[in-house]
A and B are shown apart, each in its own frame.
Chain A
Amino acid sequence: MSNKSGKIKSPTADRILKITAYSFTVLFSLLLLYPLLYTISNSVKDHVRIYDVPPKTIPEAARSLSIVLDYSELGAMDDRELLDLAQRDNILAMFSTLAEYPRDSLFEIKTFGVKEGKTIFYSRAHKMKLELLRDFGVYRGSVVKADVLLHGDRYVRASDAIGYEFDSVGLPRQPEASPARDEFDSRLTALFADKYKLEGFFSHSTLNTNNVLLLENYWYYFQLPSYVYSNNELIAQYSFLTFVFNTLLVIGWAIVTQVVLCSLSAFVISRLLDRKAGNAVLLYFLGAMMIPFASIMLPQLVMYKEIGFYDNYGALLLPFLYPFGFFVYLFKGFFDQIPSDYFEAARMDGASNLYLFAKICMPLSKPIITLIVLQTFIGNWNDFFWAWLVTEKQHLWTINVALYSLSINGSTKQNFILGLSVLMTLPVILMTVISSRQLKQSVMGSGVKG
């Protein structure tokens, strides 16, 4: 009787639980995704819009401004002079519009120099590129003013950094025809003619909406380190990849040392020692892993400094040169399960211990190695403090140290920092999705045994 009533009751009770489970999971997933979407949305804003109060969820549309300057009235001159003029005008036009109209979401500025109907000069810059130049590049720490922008050979260097095309015979580019003169045109006329005194005659401008420009932001966010730490050759050349390389180097080294040391130790513990001695050694390794980092970081730092492992790769790599007790434990559990017939047969054939280890144990322990790879990766991907303590040279920084340093550096703009964060998050998401199955097995494998 009770059996029957249970069967009748079960669907409703289970259904309520199921509905709760689904709604909770969906709600929580939305909560998880929100910070990420919020960050992506904020990172494509420019540094003015990001400080809008109240903050907008959807960023403003990106606009592209084309400026057409006419050199027809200046009369004949040789190419060098003409190029020089065009370069000066270009730099003035770009940086002045950027400085005077920060709230207009102008993400791209194109300058066309025309002479007698032919396009002789063309240059194009993304807003973030100009900001990098202004904050950290050629114009680091200077005010946007005509004589500051043109001082010395600055405008030449800036032009080279931005890139331009010049041909006095005519470039195969045509600026868009002028639409009806709008408000922007008159603003620019006043700005160029009176305030910045451009040599060329401001003919007209066109304004387009192009939201792909928002995605282009990320390319310049990625270059941020090479501008901020431009004194450092490696970072100037490889930008953020330097930090990615360091992180991967540390992780790779950690994986190699852990696999070798832990499997070797576990092999000896599992196969060559008796039970009592084996457990004692295992406990010794496990105990070392339990020592909290916070309580040995000071002696560790002092010791590493004494032996010269400071501010070099040695300091980053040496801490992994001992077997992690947990991995030894995992390996041991695994080796214990290999049938001893294998070993006896091989030993009868005169196989040495190393042979047994290399030819029998290692080939069988691929699943454990996968697990160690993933666990080491996760563990070190989030590691920050040790690298922060021992590195002064910027090209030794790992991702976490670099991002932290950039974020506490007062002159980097918030949208750049958020953009870099997004750039660092996307590969993680991609990897998680690709390797989620192995990841689950790995964590579960360690969980069941641990």
Chain B
Amino acid sequence: MNQPLQARIHTRGYSLQRKLAPWLLLAPPILLTAWLKYYLIIKAFYMSLFDYNAIEAPGPFVGFANYARMFSTQYYWDAWSNTFVFLFLTLIMTFLIPIVQALFLNELIRLRHVFTTLYIVPALIPTAVNMIIWKWIWHPDYGVANRILLFFGGQPQAWLSDPDFTKFCIVFPGVLGGGLSVLLYLSAIQGISREMIESSQLDGCTGWRRIVHIILPNIRFLIFIQLVMAVILTMQLLDAPYMYTAGGPSGASTTMGVYIYNTFQQDFNYGRGSSASIVLLCVIAVMSAVQMKLDRSQKN
């Protein structure tokens, strides 16, 4: 029944149409992606080769001089070191907490739904609102942070205005805002087969030991993915340091993202901004590639 039908529809015209149709349908999305995303990388690289002049674009060609000049300024390397300090702080302060939260939520029998919802709320509060709230909490004179410090006998701090503390203050709100990651971990934990957990229980693997020997190894993959995402996102950190302190005080929270923004929006140095963009892109690409490679070798 099928044979003659297929033979009939496999005429030449039809098969050509069949080959072309998918690409015709795919053309708009592919072209739009190329235009709105990939082309911009090329454009950034192109701009980085010029002493870019926005009015008479592109201005004089300077080759890699933008890169050379940028690498020779201390401000640029400070931005990198700030970025890595942010990365370090994010990983130790905010990365692990959602895992702990999810592990504990998984142990709850009652009220799990209520607490899960509660955890999500701070993650959905708009960035600007979070910034306003936390700026007031960190306020040196009227904020509650110094009240708590005084209560425990500490010395009041300038928090966001103190170059030593400002990174901590910007990262800290993230401790409360990990609700969506909690959901991811929780679903992964609940996806572990019941049989495995029950049989491990029979073998005496209960309580903390269950967490260490059964649950954590089983969600290892998700933790790794989340780690990669956290690294990639923190490397391009821009909104938070900009909104809290606009990169200050004295450049202490100028991440690579804020540095790029400042080079073109304050210094109008489009060439250098593009060079920094390209370097950042390469660094993030290399870091993700290395992490993926590590993961693959670990799996094997």
Binding site for B on A (CB under 8 A): 2-3, 5-7, 9-10, 12-14, 16-18, 20-22, 24-25, 28-29, 31-33, 35-36, 38-39, 42, 50-55, 261, 264-265, 267-269, 272-273, 281, 284-285, 288, 290-303, 305-306, 318-319, 321-323, 348, 353, 378, 381-382, 384-385, 389, 399-404, 407, 414, 417-418, 421, 424-425, 428-429, 431-433, 436, 439-440, 443-444, 447-448, 450
Contacts and interface: CB of A to CB of B under 8 A. Distances in A.
Most buried by A among B136, B222, B256, B288: B136
11 contacts: A6-B205, A294-B256, A297-B277, A301-B264, A302-B54, A321-B32, A322-B33, A404-B131, A436-B113, A443-B183, A444-B186
B25 to A, nearest CB: 5
A292 B136 contact: no
A149 B204 CA distance: 81
A378 B180 contact: yes
B137 interface: yes
B116 interface: yes
A300 B188 CA distance: 37
Given A322-B33, A444-B183, 7 more contacts: A3-B204, A10-B204, A17-B207, A18-B107, A32-B122, A293-B238, A294-B236
Nearest to A321: B32
A188 B124 CA distance: 48
B169 interface: no
Contacts of A389: 265
Nearest to A39: B133
B120 A439 contact: yes
Contacts of A25: 101, 104-105, 108, 115
Contacts of B104: 20-21, 24-25
A448 to B, nearest CB: 6
Interface stretch (B35-43, B69-77, B157-165): B35-43
Most buried by A among B43, B125, B222: B125
A295 B236 contact: yes
A28 B105 CA distance: 11
Most buried by A among B235, B256, B265, B277: B277
A14 B207 contact: yes
A2 B204 contact: yes
A298 B126 contact: no
A36 B130 CA distance: 10
Nearest to A293: B236
Nearest to A439: B120
Contacts of B257: 294
A436 B117 contact: yes
A378 to B, nearest CB: 6
Contacts of B21: 272, 353
Interface residues of B, number: 100
Contacts of B187: 440, 443-444, 447-448
Given A55-B142, A353-B25, A429 B121 contact: yes
A290 B41 CA distance: 12
Looking at chain B's contact residues, the main secondary structure is helix
A298 B101 contact: no
Most buried by B among A273, A292, A429: A292
Contact of A428 (B43, B101, B126, B137): B126
Contacts of B134: 35
B41 A348 contact: no
Contacts of A321: 32, 36
A403 B202 contact: no
Contact of B119 (A32, A404, A431): A32
Given A29-B115, A378-B124, A319 B36 contact: yes
Q: 9 shortest A-B CB distances, which residue pairs?
A: A13-B207, A6-B204, A444-B187, A272-B22, A403-B128, A21-B107, A294-B257, A447-B184, A21-B104
B261 interface: yes
Contact of B260 (A6, A288, A297): A297
A384 B39 CA distance: 23
A130 to B, nearest CB: 23
Contacts of B235: 292
B166 interface: no
B44 A298 contact: yes
B230 interface: no
Contact of A322 (B29, B125, B143, B188): B29
A401 B126 CA distance: 10
A381 B124 CA distance: 8
B15 interface: no
Given A53-B141, A400-B126, A295 B120 contact: no
Most buried by A among B104, B132, B203: B132
A436 B47 contact: no
B126 A403 contact: yes
Interface stretch (B59-67, B85-93, B278-286): B278-286
B68 interface: no
A294 B280 contact: yes
B238 A294 contact: yes
Interface in B248-276: 256-257, 260-261, 264-265, 270, 273-274
Contact of A35 (B30, B137, B191): B137
Given A21-B108, A450-B225, A381 B26 contact: no
A31 B128 contact: no
Contacts of B280: 292, 294-295
Given A298-B260, A322-B37, A400 B277 contact: no
Given A25-B101, A35-B134, A303 B40 contact: yes
A29 B118 contact: yes
A237 B63 CA distance: 52
Contact of A440 (B115, B183, B202, B273): B183
A30 B180 CA distance: 18
A11 to B, nearest CB: 8
Given A24-B104, A288-B38, A348 B201 contact: no
Contacts of B206: 6, 9-10, 13-14, 17
B232 interface: yes
B7 interface: no
A303 B44 CA distance: 10
B128 A428 contact: no
A6 B22 contact: no
B84 interface: no
Contacts of B39: 303
Contact of B127 (A22, A293, A382, A443): A382
Contacts of A55: 142-144, 147
A425 B134 CA distance: 14
Contacts of B38: 288, 291
A323 B270 contact: no
B240 to A, nearest CB: 9
A90 to B, nearest CB: 34
Contact of B270 (A31, A298, A421): A298
